[in-house]
Amino acid sequence: MNKMIRALGALALCLALAAPAWATNGMNMISFGGQEAGMAGASLGVSDNPVAMNNNPAGLSQIKGQELTFGVSALMPNLKHEDRFHNSEDGKSNTFLLPMAAYAYHQKDNPWTFGLGLFGQGGMGAEFSNLNTAFGTKDQTYTNVSYAKVTPSLAYQVNDRLSLGAALNVGYAAMEMKFFPNTVAPGMFYGMNLQNVYGFGYGIKAGAQYKASDMVTLGLVYTSKSSLDFKHGDMTFAGMGKYSAEVEGFNWPQSLGAGVAVRPTSKWLLALDLTWVNWKNAMDQVDIKTNAPGPLSDVRFNMDWKDQVVLALGAAYKLTDTWTLRAGYNYGNNPVPADHLNPLFPAIPEHHLTMGLGYKINDNWSLDAGWEHAFSKSVTYTNNDTPFGPNAVETHDQNTVSVFASFKF
């Protein structure tokens, strides 16, 4: 069973996370899907396409017949690290492609809708080269954390107003990390190069949508925590050699969200979501356990992330029967405390502005595109227990472009 799940997870990663992905609600993407990207992720009361299985699976009940949605998001992060060792270094600039796909099937006169999707849920990736270290060397830091999911889903139309849905989250995660890998300060610091660790995560997303009136739809969604147990990796310590490694304490959080969608006219759609993300119980202390001697057998990173509240506001206006214009705003408080910040995990942006455009080609095909901008956020360290602080600074902003196509059978 694990071999099959790993194969599915590896496929998801090949499709969705071929390179490190920066996500800007902590480690989560702010949106999934082309329509949702234009509306800043506001989707819990709106979801009515196959991507609903990763937003609010109850929305699958609105699909009639069969529908396939597929597309790609291009993430373009900008990172900068500054510290007291005369570093003012921009992170390596890349464009990361994040494909996704989802299929749903509803048989006429049947209350059930079935779905299956592959999603890149999020992750972190940062690379800084030629950093001056506290040990008199020049070295690098690098992280690549990827988490993708296979989501078999089911929705049930209870009556004309209420629908319920659930998606099984079968996740596969991979991690790599370099922390001054070529630097040695005997008895004080041994550079690290972590490779090839992977882990599985299992959870469920359950949701409901209730049509309060012809104008108002309410949504409610709960996502369980996915505990990730990374194993089968290698850790190379500079000057010490290579050892087996596994990682504990790095998890994907539970969350609870509620949303409302309002259609004041046939042309307008307004949406608001409020989501609590429990990072505190998912990213507390990360332990890298190895079979190296002495204190190198357990390398600890105190994360102590804070819970996050995400507000998403979105609007769509139907310009014509063919064109739809979208816009939105997303805010999620920075979950990374300044006393545990470092360039390995700087998931700090808070404010996002989005715009999008939808084009209906015909009764079967449609295209949706969205642009997301994460405004620049800078955080100054208050910690003394790293080779960077205190008073080191991490800065991050990002642009993301998403293009999706939908086909109704």
- Per-residue pLDDT tens digits of the chain, which is 409 residues long: 444 444 444 444 444 444 444 568 888 989 999 999 999 999 999 999 999 999 999 999 999 999 999 999 888 889 999 999 999 999 987 777 888 999 999 988 899 999 999 998 777 778 999 999 999 999 999 998 888 899 999 999 999 999 999 999 999 999 999 999 999 998 889 999 999 999 999 999 999 999 999 999 999 999 999 998 898 899 999 999 999 999 999 899 999 999 999 999 999 999 999 999 999 999 999 999 999 988 999 999 889 999 999 999 999 999 999 999 999 999 999 999 998 888 888 889 999 999 999 999 999 999 999 999 999 999 998 887 778 878 999 999 999 999 999 999 9
Cα–Cα distances in angstroms (integers) from residue 252 to residues 136, 178, 223, 284, 326, in the given order: 37, 22, 10, 11, 30
**CATH number of the domain encompassing residue 374:** 2.40.160.60
**Cβ neighbours of 132 (radius 10 Å):** 15
Q: DSSP assignment of 216-228, as one string?
A: EEEEEEEE--B--
Residue in the structure block whose two tokens are 């700087």: 346
Domain count, the chain: 1
The dihedral sign for the CA sequence 275, 330, 43, 36? negative
Residue 258: left if φ>0, alpha if ψ -120 to 50, beta else—which one?
A: beta
How do 216-223 and 365-380 pair as beta strands? unpaired
Return the pLDDT at 176: 93
Whether the CB-CB separation of 78 and 396 falls below 8 Å is answered with yes
Return the pLDDT at 99: 86
Whether the CB-CB separation of 350 and 334 falls below 8 Å is answered with yes
Please state the separation of Cα 333 from the chain's center in Å: 15
Cα separation, 289 vs 250, in Å, equals 13
Residues in a beta bridge with 120: 148
Whether the CB-CB separation of 257 and 207 falls below 8 Å is answered with no
- Closest Cα partner for 120 from 104, 101, 103? 101
Q: Phi and psi at residue 64, in whole multiples of 5°?
A: -115, 120
3-state secondary structure of 280: helix
3-state secondary structure of 400: strand
Q: What is the torsion angle, in degrees rounded to the nearest 10, for the CA atoms of residue 37, residue 40, residue 43 and residue 46?
A: -90
Q: What is the torsion angle, in degrees rounded to the nearest 10, for the CA atoms of residue 41, residue 42, residue 44 and residue 46?
A: -110
Cα separation, 390 vs 382, in Å, equals 5
Domain that holds residue 86: 2-408
Cα separation, 79 vs 92, in Å, equals 8
Return the pLDDT at 5: 42
Please state the separation of Cα 285 from the chain's center in Å: 20
Cα separation, 334 vs 351, in Å, equals 10
Strands (DSSP E) along 35-110, which ranges? Answer: 65-83, 87-90, 96-106
Cα separation, 285 vs 248, in Å, equals 8
pTM listed for this prediction:
0.91
Which residues, 6+ apart, have CB-to-CB distance to 216 below 8 Å? 260, 261, 262, 263
Cα separation, 239 vs 335, in Å, equals 35
**Cβ neighbours of 397 (radius 10 Å):** 18
DSSP conformation class of 389: -
The dihedral sign for the CA sequence 227, 19, 275, 155? negative
